[in-house]
A and B are shown apart, each in its own frame.
Chain A
């Protein structure tokens, strides 16, 4: 049994890579690609008559392979399927870090899964509360209920948009500039921030259009998403590069933090840096940039 460290609610999740729990070749060492988080999929990637085989494979993978610092989340089957309860049991027995609930529409959905997780934690002697939860929002109702979903459980670490299903329900088609998902994305970020959890954008399925993918990542980062779901390792580097703070951003952040500390010691609450007004409200953003730079492994300063 591989000992995994305690799952962290707040950690770098710039990239969440989907892999099929049905495929040994994919499941044996996905950590080599450097994604922050791996989502082992028992749902759409697995054929209906292979669900049990996939569970067996998942359990053995979780218990024999050392995934290191890469987070391991399991996407269970939907709550209207006959599989999800066993999916939860197997995931907790194997020591997965978290459960991703597909087609989540309400706080009640989260609570039903949480109950099953608790039972499994007890059954398999996993410390209570260890396993985290995230929810995938795939319908308009889910988007509208985003805030209650985010706050439905202390285990909730984030919500993700599932674009394909959402577009179908909205009766829209995909556009490069993303206008069809603009409101849904905006709502998702609002809800996540209000609840104090993370939010993740949907997968980009055209693996040949790396330019289009890059533009979408830039857009969703600007909108406030913490990361993106991916379907292919070659998408990872692009996301990490875009989410990396630039040297200028780091430098500016450092100046703000240093200036603030210096000024507040002198009792000054508001001051200027480069002719821009700075007060305490600017501090958290600056500190976040430095924290992100550290997490990305590019911070060379001493703050």
Chain B
């Protein structure tokens, strides 16, 4: 069945109430009963929940074949937790395991082996990269992987689309009772936003830490009342890869050039007024935008009331200079951000639900003024692809992209017109991860395009003397330089399902056909 963005969704996926994507806000006004975990009563006092090893925790949790385990990705490329836990699960001979992580990355290449061995038969995640992405693209995973945005994951857990049997939560610090924090310890990651929903909805919760601290470890990101066991290991991650020293502004002239244009687009809208809010990314141009906003803010005498998203040093510095009132933190990317959330009373940790859940009574993204996002591809319907490369292999993550795009008053996607010999602006993206109706402006190094749905933004840009062209013109320019690419070849098998925020199906990814010269 064709969905709202024109993607064909196989009928065999539309079972058990699963629908095709019907446009944003489709489920507004619907009701649902929240799912709930089956939890053990620990009425008899226990002094300590610490067990000797991950293996022991797995056994005590009565793990069985076919269970779903969950992880967060606050340790990013420096994560050891997923691999440590999966190794024990595999060594214990468990099979048919589904991994429901908030995201998976290059640190999790060993999982690809478990997929090929048929031990891991389900993956639910935002990010799917490296060897895991390749393995899934080649068809090794028994069931289609389910790709969700950060907000969509929370909704899926709350609605019961996914039931977590055991949540393994890596924590920089924990006390013996399970009060866990993202702050302190040897591998400080600042916040534990992604795992908060896991702690509330999983049947069993295991904290894995490398720094045991005296009880009570307050205020906790993960509360002891939700925790079954605590495991102390030597290292939960590689500190140097968890948080870089300090994210620096790019010096790449092209990124700076595009970032400055983004700042000008932002300033041309009436949303750019005292008390505005802004979501920052960590990638080159989207981060550099804040640097170009600063002089404009000074010129107009306005301040940013709140900045949200993945936090980095430049945003922290803006707050310390007094240009930003408060930082709403869903993830920390570098040590400055970690330090700031530890010490600055205006820097707040929130849950991923508060950040981006479409099914609660109002997440932060709904109040967001501006977001600047990157994209691998944007097509002439303004649909964005951030998950599959031009070769069709899974190598990216929707992250908070679809959530912020749906909520923001002005969503800007910034991308160079071409990357190497690949057109970023194309006729039809390989995979839709964010629907075009959410994307308001596309900024490239060769011009700006505004979504026809936003005649108001076109008028504001005209008033500001900023030229813009149709997205088709940008696509034609790209193709005139690199030529229109040949269509990718696919097998029939669906290897990944891209869910929209509300759980409907936005697109599917099929198994790639190895390229042949003929």
Cβ of B300 within 8 Å of any chain A Cβ, yes or no, is: no
**A207 to B446, alpha carbons, bound, how many Å?**
24
| Chain A residues within 8 Å of chain B by Cβ, number | 8
B255 to chain A, nearest CB (A): 11
Interface of chain B residues 107 through 127 with chain A (CB within 8 A): none
Interface of chain A residues 1 through 58 with chain B (CB within 8 A): 28-29, 32-33
Q: Mark A174-206, 1 if CB is under 8 A from B, else 0.
A: 000000000000000000000000000000000
Pair B445/A32 contact, Cβ less than 8 Å: yes
Neighbour of B446 across the interface among A29, A232, A233, A234, CB < 8 A: A29
Pair A234/B253 contact, Cβ less than 8 Å: yes
Pair A233/B445 contact, Cβ less than 8 Å: no
Pair B251/A207 contact, Cβ less than 8 Å: yes
Neighbour of A232 across the interface among B253, B445, B481, CB < 8 A: B253
**A208 to B115, alpha carbons, bound, how many Å?**
49
Specify which chain A residues have a CB less than 8 angstroms from the CB of B215 in the assembled complex: none
Pair A32/B251 contact, Cβ less than 8 Å: no
Interface of chain A residues 204 through 249 with chain B (CB within 8 A): 207, 232-234
Chain B interface, DSSP helix/strand/loop, else mixed: helix
**A234 to B257, alpha carbons, bound, how many Å?**
8
B307 to chain A, nearest CB (A): 24
**A33 to B253, alpha carbons, bound, how many Å?**
9
What is the number of contacts between chain A and chain B, taking CB atoms within 8 Å?
16
A171 to chain B, nearest CB (A): 32
Pair A32/B446 contact, Cβ less than 8 Å: yes
Specify which chain B residues have a CB less than 8 angstroms from the CB of A33 in the assembled complex: 253, 257
Name which residue of chain B comes closest to A28, CB basis: B481
A257 to chain B, nearest CB (A): 26
Cβ of B263 within 8 Å of any chain A Cβ, yes or no, is: no
Pair A233/B253 contact, Cβ less than 8 Å: yes
Specify which chain A residues have a CB less than 8 angstroms from the CB of B445 in the assembled complex: 29, 32
**A28 to B445, alpha carbons, bound, how many Å?**
12
Specify which chain A residues have a CB less than 8 angstroms from the CB of B169 in the assembled complex: none
Q: Mark B346-370, 1 if CB is under 8 A from A, else 0.
A: 0000000000000000000000000
Specify which chain B residues have a CB less than 8 angstroms from the CB of A234 in the assembled complex: 253, 256
B199 to chain A, nearest CB (A): 46
- Which of A28, A32, A232 has the most chain B CB atoms inside 10 A of its CB? A32
Specify which chain A residues have a CB less than 8 angstroms from the CB of B257 in the assembled complex: 32-33, 233
**A202 to B501, alpha carbons, bound, how many Å?**
55
**A28 to B446, alpha carbons, bound, how many Å?**
12
Pair A233/B251 contact, Cβ less than 8 Å: no
Specify which chain A residues have a CB less than 8 angstroms from the CB of B253 in the assembled complex: 33, 232-234
Specify which chain B residues have a CB less than 8 angstroms from the CB of A32 in the assembled complex: 254, 257, 445-446
A214 to chain B, nearest CB (A): 14
B207 to chain A, nearest CB (A): 45
**A28 to B482, alpha carbons, bound, how many Å?**
12
**A29 to B445, alpha carbons, bound, how many Å?**
9
Q: Mark B246-271, 1 if CB is under 8 A from A, else 0.
A: 00000101101100000000000000
A-B contact pairs, 13 of them (CB 8 A): A28-B481, A32-B254, A32-B257, A32-B446, A33-B253, A33-B257, A207-B251, A232-B253, A233-B253, A233-B256, A233-B257, A234-B253, A234-B256
Which are the 4 A-B pairs with shortest beta-carbon distances?
Answer: A233-B253, A32-B445, A234-B256, A33-B257
Given contact pairs A32-B257, A207-B251, A234-B256, a sample of 7 additional A-B residue pairs in the complex whose CB atoms are under 8 Å apart: A28-B481, A29-B446, A32-B254, A32-B446, A33-B257, A233-B256, A234-B253
